[in-house]
Structure 1
Amino acid sequence: MSDKMSQPQKMVGKDYENGGISAHVQARILAEALPHLIRYDEQYVVIKFGGHAMGDAALSQAFAQDIVYLKQSGVNPIVVHGGGPQIARMLDKLAIQSSFVNGLRVTDKPTVEVVEMVLAGAINKEIVSAINQQGGKAVGICGKDANLMIAERITEIPDPTSNLMQAVDIGYVGDPVEVNPHIVDVISNSDLIPVIAPVGLSRSGETLNINADSFASALAAKMKVKRLLLLTDVAGVLDKDKNLVASLSVDEARQLIRNGTISGGMIPKVEGCIEVVEAGVEAVVIIDGRVPHCVLLELFTEHGIGTLVGQENRI
């Protein structure tokens, strides 16, 4: 990626013709993207799609265009999506009460049925349709298909104050324990694009709701993909002056957690990035999904737009 050097050159004068970018500038942009196109040729990239971008029609369209562009450029994109707000709206419509423990939805039997219906049904097919409307060939699956994602119920979570583990019963909520990516390989190694809902199975056959970040991270780690992109509603990791940190080595990321620069909800996200990198993924990037075409900006420009976490500072 992304040495994230200087800002892009400003285009003025004849760079713009008839209200758009001139052919000369378009050619220059394509030429500058060439090294990155070569770098990601035939590589797997897992992209977790969620947050505000999923609820915004223009951003969703731009995301779909990015995914089609990646596939047409020789990259193998794998989309994993969330859907918390959409699940909440459906639960409200059905008058099903829902609560949270440390950010995890307590998921009883009626709730998990709604979760599966919304994630593997409505949302998954919306994303598939959006990609297909842009000229792609997307296929929607979930973690239950071909035993892609086996999980076990979460029975303990860290206490937010002491960070010690505490026992919980949050129902049908799972953590990945086994990944079988054969179905993803089969789809990706054709002209198709997999779009995956984060619903999995326990070893006893129970349906389990899995956090989309955790699902995407487990899949990326198992497949040792080139990049894992986590689309969020923040710009990335910020320093103490609230400036974006462009890239971090694993050691630097741990140091920022220890000294309090990385705090709150960003701590588990960065810790998850570290785990994925140490499992063999070249780098994980936290990027702002509210920026149109953020995926292309991250992968195919020198600057990137998010915070990259890798074994070394700049990859």
Structure 2
Amino acid sequence: MTKSKAETLNLNFRFSKPPLTPNSRRLRLSIRASSPSSTALNDPPLPSLTNSDLQLRVRILSESLPYIQKFRGKTIVVKYGGAAMKSAELNASVVRDLVLLSCVGLRPVLVHGGGPEINVLLNQLNIPAQFRDGLRVTDARTMEVVSMVLVGKVNKDLLGFVGEVARVDPTVLQTIVDNGSIPVIASVAADEYGQPYNINADTVAGEVAAALGAEKLILLTDVAGILRNREDPGSLVKEIDIKGVKKMIEEGKVGGGMIPKVNCCIRSLDQGVTTASIIDGRVEHSLLHEIMTDEGAGTMITG
């Protein structure tokens, strides 16, 4: 099947029986909350705590109780962006946070991107990285690199071949979640002919959240959230509705790679997801901060 660089393809995005090709080997991972014995989850010995430190920890635990009760049994889809995955320590922190959420009764699902890793490998192979409206332009050579990084390197530790999600079959995914495991999903999928396509990871996360009837969609990225002034980190928008964020796009206040993030949030909200948040994945425990506190950790978009 030959596609031009400006074409996109509607495809069936299934988790039950994805077709395998030499360039699109599927690797599924699950993190079991009942087995936190991996060395990646082992924290260093804690220093001695003062009474004030202990009181603070007790207060934080006490304040989180209403949120644990509110979200217990609810599905939370988290997209961990490639630009926020540069630190091994932060990666381990995000994994611990996901396991903690699972242990207290939430049902997390992780979708990962790998933008910086893809760019590094493209540079090593002297293939220029191209973007259009925040989406990667992907020819045949770039598609091979995308598959190597997203399905191989990242899971293990376009516009040519860019796909649009036509449908998500959540059957197997729902079974994994019901069994208490945390699915880890790469944003590469194949069409009915077995041709792999690169899909924007934010888009995948939004469609998965909608298909699973998720309570929350959370995008962890390398920015604090939506800014009223892109040059001013202090202009963070804490909460905004769909109408307001669409107006910001029209006014040019939201641009670049933030556009597909916002659009996927809007689409997921239109399909029944309760809230969608864009938060800074470079900040340790920002995921817990967003879910378990009143102030949150970034920008929350509501319907």
TM-score range, shorter chain: 0.7 to 0.9
Cα distance change on mapping 1:100 and 1:249 into 2, 3 Å:
same
Counterpart position of 1:134: none
Question: Is the contact between residue 276 and residue 301 of structure 2 (CA under 8 Å) also seen in structure 1?
Answer: yes
| Mapping of residues 26-65 of structure 1, within 5 Å | 26-65=57-96
* Alpha-carbon separation, structure 2, partners of 1:261 and 1:118: 32
* Alpha-carbon separation, structure 2, partners of 1:80 and 1:244: 25
Q: Which runs of 5+ in 1 are unaligned?
A: 1-15, 127-153, 155-169
Counterpart position of 2:101: 70
- Residue 88 of structure 2 aligns with an amino acid whose one-letter code is A
- Residue 253 of structure 1 aligns with an amino acid whose one-letter code is V
* Pick aligned residue for 1:117 from 138, 148, 165: 148
Cα distance change on mapping 1:86 and 1:292 into 2, 3 Å:
same
Is structure 2 residue 284 aligned with structure 1 residue 295? no
* Alpha-carbon separation, structure 2, partners of 1:248 and 1:41: 25
C-alpha displacement at 1:172, in angstroms? 1.6
* Pick aligned residue for 2:121 from 90, 94, 99: 90
* Alpha-carbon separation, structure 1, partners of 2:172 and 2:299: 30
Deviations 1:74-98 (A, max 9, x none): 11110000012212223344x2524
Is structure 2 residue 228 aligned with structure 1 residue 239? yes
C-alpha displacement at 1:200, in angstroms? 0.4
Counterpart position of 1:212: 201
Question: Is the contact between residue 231 and residue 289 of structure 1 (CA under 8 Å) also seen in structure 2?
Answer: yes
State the identity as a percent: 40
* Pick aligned residue for 2:190 from 193, 201, 207: 201
Cα distance change on mapping 1:87 and 1:180 into 2, 3 Å:
same
Deviations 1:230-255 (A, max 9, x none): 11111111224752111011122223
* Pick aligned residue for 1:273 from 265, 274, 294: 265
C-alpha displacement at 1:225, in angstroms? 0.5
Is structure 2 residue 254 aligned with structure 1 residue 224? no
- What SS does the aligned partner of 1:55 have? coil
With normalisation by structure 1, the TM-score equals 0.74
C-alpha displacement at 1:291, in angstroms? 0.8
| Mapping of residues 121-200 of structure 1, within 5 Å | 121-126=152-157, 170-200=159-189
With normalisation by structure 2, the TM-score equals 0.77
Question: Is the contact between residue 174 and residue 212 of structure 2 (CA under 8 Å) also seen in structure 1?
Answer: no
C-alpha displacement at 1:188, in angstroms? 0.9
Question: Is the contact between residue 277 and residue 283 of structure 1 (CA under 8 Å) also seen in structure 2?
Answer: yes
Question: Is the contact between residue 87 and residue 114 of structure 1 (CA under 8 Å) also seen in structure 2?
Answer: yes
Cα distance change on mapping 1:116 and 1:51 into 2, 3 Å:
closer
Cα distance change on mapping 1:78 and 1:23 into 2, 3 Å:
same
Question: Is the contact between residue 98 and residue 105 of structure 1 (CA under 8 Å) also seen in structure 2?
Answer: no
Question: Is the contact between residue 46 and residue 80 of structure 1 (CA under 8 Å) also seen in structure 2?
Answer: yes
- What SS does the aligned partner of 1:42 have? coil
- Residue 53 of structure 1 aligns with an amino acid whose one-letter code is A
- Residue 130 of structure 2 aligns with an amino acid whose one-letter code is F
Counterpart position of 2:276: 284
Cα distance change on mapping 1:256 and 1:97 into 2, 3 Å:
closer
- Residue 309 of structure 1 aligns with an amino acid whose one-letter code is I
Counterpart position of 1:163: none
C-alpha displacement at 1:299, in angstroms? 0.2
* Alpha-carbon separation, structure 2, partners of 1:27 and 1:224: 33
Question: Is the contact between residue 228 and residue 281 of structure 1 (CA under 8 Å) also seen in structure 2?
Answer: yes
C-alpha displacement at 1:302, in angstroms? 0.9
Counterpart position of 1:105: 136
The answer to which of 288-297 and 270-279 deviates more is: 270-279
* CA RMSD, Structure 1 to Structure 2 (Å): 2.2
Q: Which runs of 5+ in 2 are unaligned?
A: 1-46
- What SS does the aligned partner of 1:88 have? helix
Q: How many residues align?
A: 253
C-alpha displacement at 1:192, in angstroms? 1.4
C-alpha displacement at 1:260, in angstroms? 4.0
C-alpha displacement at 1:257, in angstroms? 2.9
Question: Is the contact between residue 228 and residue 285 of structure 1 (CA under 8 Å) also seen in structure 2?
Answer: yes
* Alpha-carbon separation, structure 2, partners of 1:114 and 1:122: 10
